[in-house]
Chains A and B, each alone.
Chain A
Amino acid sequence: MRIGLLTEGGYPYVNGDAGLWCDRLVRGLGQHEFDVYALSRGRRQEDEGRLEPPPHVSRVRTAPLWTAEEDGVAYGRRARRRFAERYGELAQVLCAGPSGRAATGPDGPDAVPGLMADRFGSALYGLAELARDEGGLVGALRSDTAVRALERACRAPGAHTAVRGARVSDLLDIATHLERALRPLSLDWYGDDGLGAADLCHATAAGPAALSGLLAGHFSDVPLLVTEYGARLRAHYLAAGPEAATPAVRTLLAALHGRLAAEVYGRAAIITPGNAHTRRWQERCGADRARIRTVHPGMEAARFTEVGEAPDRADPHTLVWVGRVEPAKDLVSLLHAFAEVRKEEPKARLRVVGAPAGPEGAAYLGHCKALAAQLFPDEAEGVHAVGDNPVCFEEIGGPEAPTLADAYASGTVVVLSSVVEGFPVGLAEAMFCGRATVSTDVGAVVEVIGGTGLVVPPRNPRALAEACVALLRDPERRERLGAAARARALELFTVEQNVAAFRGIYLEIVSHCPVRRVVLDESGEPLPFAVPAEAHVPGRWTGPTAQVAGRRGPGRVPGATAGTTPVRATPLKAPEGAR
């Protein structure tokens, strides 16, 4: 099977997000052939280079999201009218009303809820068809025609109140943002030599990458699988804070991203959120519950095996916190909780292991160190010993904690005090290490821990302290919880389960949307069963001279057209062993 892997700002770039996961996925599914289509987010990312793809990645195509060259195509009268119509339609839909409510709520402003989504989709695909037929979409999206269409839509009677007062600078701003968001429309990826030849598009995020998948689905009926480890729409809201732009611009952008997410979720064959929190956002944006499969992210378990299997040799009074130091982790609350713990257990110690994240994190770390020095004076064994502080701050790689696993092993209870958290990677790592954990109820914590650790409300130092004390005083319970946590993590959060889940999902999708390509043999006859969903044979499956007639070749009704000339017969691409 040929998978078109669509990424945005991630794989195969070295510093991309989710790059590691994509790499493991591609390497883990060697029986399929992968084409990687990557959108890059900035010049720095492109300069830092790419990972070396494994041999069954037959092609890597990239396109920049951060810059676009006009191709110099000037539209004629007819093309301009076509563009104005479609862009105007798009602008009208975006100006019409709040997207979130229209997508899901029954009492949205549009009487027929699906109507607006339909109009959005047809306008979007209309623009994509225009870009495919004529080119020059980048220039058109920046042109005066586009700005005028936006102004008309904003001043139209049914428009959202916030956009009615849009000024000229707002209109230009919106046009620029729309141009950037619709950049995948101008790419030349959708032909029969590109995504059109794929059997399945796997988008690693909703957003521009999934937009490419939508277009492949529109032009060539390629099914789309969308994987998200954090809802893209939520990231948009958090990134576009109130200071970023005027209300008119933010309203329109929210509508655009909401509609786009709804369209992606609506058209995707399967959606795989990484946790229940992301799944809730997806359902909220209009994803059909029947097509959602939660696939937890996988982590490499091997590096924690030694610590996880060995008996607990840590000092029985040590609490440990591991993570990147930033305000969202609420270390202040942890320090206050530890003060409470010290009242009950005077021998308790706290190790904070982690590097600060950025300048903000560094400032926060300094603040926490000052607070720790204030709360806990240095103490010594006796009158003649040199004292030290019960709270120590370390970084991974230091003498006390050379590796991540050692950091977890150095404490008997692992504490997580975040107020905001997506998928708590640190907690899962602690589970792999077989530690008893106390964590705050944020993000996907409850879902990850699932009863194998204690959970307290966020911003509640007293509750955190009570839970810690309870565990410090009960070694047997610690052991039980630790063992259960490790068993759960091995069951749910390993790389193997992640890859296996995607393998099953690929097959499930292909069983619904079967591969329609037909391979021709030497005499030009269709070769039945030449394109299996997956195959585990060494060497080539179909022989070197076999030919593929494209999706729209004679393969639509194989029996009826046997013997006729194929419409578009292309020789098979080189590494065919995985087919």
Chain B
Amino acid sequence: MGGQDPAGRRRSSPRRGAGDPVKALLHRHRALCERAVDPLEIAAGLEAHGVTDRTAAGLRHRDVFSLAEELYARVPRVDEHRPHPEPAPTPRVRADWALLALLPGTVAALTVTGVRLTQGRPRLLLAVAGALAVALALRLALRRGPLAAPSRALARRTATGTRAWTCWLLGYALLGDGLLRAVLDGGPHGLPTGTAHGTWPVATVPVLALALATAPAAWSTHLLTTGARRRLAGSRGLEEFTAAVQPLLLGTFALSLGALTGLLALCGTVLGEAAGYPQALTLGALLLLARLLAVHHAPRGAGPALAAAAVAEAAAVALVLAGRLPGCAFLATPVDALAEVAGPGGVPALACGAAALALLFRAARTLTRASAHAPTGDPE
């Protein structure tokens, strides 16, 4: 019964007389009736406003429920398709995580300076202390802000393995290339001296650049999160959302890789060493993707990918060593060939690159789903 058109109102008015009491009630509770999703909601609302069965009986109804049904039928539903529903509260840039993200880079830079300025035993102590400090700073930086993992048991359980593999990969970035070169040359003939020269050179540039890149990674992830929230509020369908998030994901990913490239160039110039772009960039991409997946509740693929890269690196060194055994020279052949073509940096570049590519495919599939960007946090 359309109460809103004038003709309908004229027709219905004689039946109830001039003072239609239901209409007065309807007028009083119009907002309730317009926004109710079913008659029971109107009934609950009316009762909360003191309408009882006796009131309903005065309005020629059996009970509040049948009165509510009449009201539900008489009031047209308000079409509440707001053109732009307000997006979910986006995480704001906060000083704590913005500053914490700078911490690993700062500590790493201080450590590198210290190592450069000292000699002998103090250098070793400083290097070990610096490595521990960087690890600690990284942990702190990843606890807050956009790179913080959701606090779920599943994430916590997988985190230990991931952390170990990450440490191994970073350690290889620091020492691995020098070790592989030394092993290929029949060494190693001594322990690393902490410089980029000698028999076992240490590559500080990639690690320093990666530590510094924590900040741009946090910022680009923040961009991804806010952008995804905005698209979440604006999209009508899941396909539309996926299509909108894909360029955003790839864009922010490219942005942080670009920042890493810049940092590598800068560090290389300042320290006067080779930057080692391929291995550092692939490792940076791998670590960033693994973190993104963990942040968005899809940490399953990340651990195995990190593990695979780490095992591949270890295997390369082990194969060369095994090749020295009598009759096993063939074992070293593939690594030899790769090192000849791309230098010792080719091994980690290949390992991390393949793993990063796999994770990129996975991220492009899972991180573009709406469920990966669902607001977290259970209400308490």
Q: Tell me the A residues contacting B by CB distance below 8 Å.
A: 42-44, 66-72, 74, 98-101, 139, 142-144, 146-148, 151, 155, 161-162, 165, 167-169, 171-172, 175-176, 180, 233-234, 237-238, 242, 246-247, 250-251, 254, 258, 280, 284, 419-420, 441-442, 457-459
Contact = CB atoms under 8 A, between A and B. Distances in A.
B374 A142 contact: yes
A237 B297 CA distance: 32
B48 A420 contact: yes
A66 B378 contact: yes
Contacts of B318: none
Interface in B32-46: 32, 35-41, 44-45
A237 B35 CA distance: 12
Contacts of B373: 172
Contact of B370 (A72, A144, A161, A237): A144
A98 B240 CA distance: 29
Contacts of B63: 280
Interface in B16-71: 31-32, 35-41, 44-45, 47-50, 52-54, 63, 65
Contacts of A70: 152-154
Contact of A233 (B37, B39, B40, B237): B40
B50 A172 contact: no
Nearest to B55: A457
B39 A142 contact: no
B52 A143 contact: no
Contacts of A420: 47-50
Contact of B369 (A144, A155, A250, A419): A144
A66 B233 contact: no
Contacts of B77: 161-162, 247
Interface in B238-255: 238, 240-241
B185 interface: no
A466 B252 CA distance: 75
Interface stretch (B80-88, B141-149, B214-222): B80-88
A99 B38 contact: yes
Given A72-B157, A151-B237, A238 B48 contact: yes
A175 B37 contact: no
Given A69-B153, A442-B50, A258 B370 contact: no
Interface residues of B, number: 51
Interface in B277-297: 297
A172 B375 contact: yes
A246 B85 contact: yes
B238 A168 contact: yes
B378 A251 contact: no
B5 interface: no
A238 to B, nearest CB: 6
29 contacts: A66-B378, A72-B157, A98-B39, A100-B40, A142-B371, A144-B371, A147-B371, A151-B238, A167-B85, A168-B237, A168-B241, A169-B232, A172-B370, A172-B371, A172-B375, A175-B374, A233-B40, A234-B47, A242-B32, A246-B80, A247-B35, A247-B37, A247-B77, A254-B40, A280-B53, A280-B63, A419-B50, A442-B52, A458-B52
Contacts of B235: 167-168
A147 B241 CA distance: 12
Contacts of A68: 378
Contacts, number: 132
Nearest to A102: B38
B380 interface: yes
B370 A69 contact: no
Contacts of B65: 280, 284
Contacts of B154: 69-72, 139
Contact of A167 (B233, B369, B372, B378): B233
A440 to B, nearest CB: 8
Contact of B236 (A168, A254, A441): A168
A171 B370 CA distance: 9
A33 B53 CA distance: 41
B232 A168 contact: yes
Q: Give the 4 A-B residue pairs with the shortest CB-CB distance, closest first.
A: A419-B50, A237-B44, A242-B35, A100-B40
Contacts of B40: 100, 233-234, 237, 254, 258, 284
B272 interface: no
A459 B52 CA distance: 12
A151 B235 CA distance: 12
A165 B372 CA distance: 22
Contacts of A442: 50, 52
B324 interface: no
B371 A146 contact: yes
B124 to A, nearest CB: 41
B41 A254 contact: yes
Contacts of B120: none
A167 B37 contact: no
B19 to A, nearest CB: 19
Contacts of B197: none
Given A168-B241, A284-B65, A254 B54 contact: no
Contacts of B372: 144
B300 interface: yes
A43 B380 contact: yes
Nearest to A42: B380
Nearest to B36: A242
Contact of A254 (B35, B37, B378): B37
A141 B371 CA distance: 10
Contact of B374 (A66, A161, A176, A242): A176
A65 to B, nearest CB: 9
Contacts of B236: 165, 167-168
A74 B39 contact: no
Interface in B77-120: 77, 80-81, 85, 87-88
Given A165-B81, A233-B40, A242-B35, A172 B232 contact: yes
Given A167-B85, A169-B233, A246-B80, A66 B38 contact: no
A147 B38 contact: no
Nearest to B377: A67
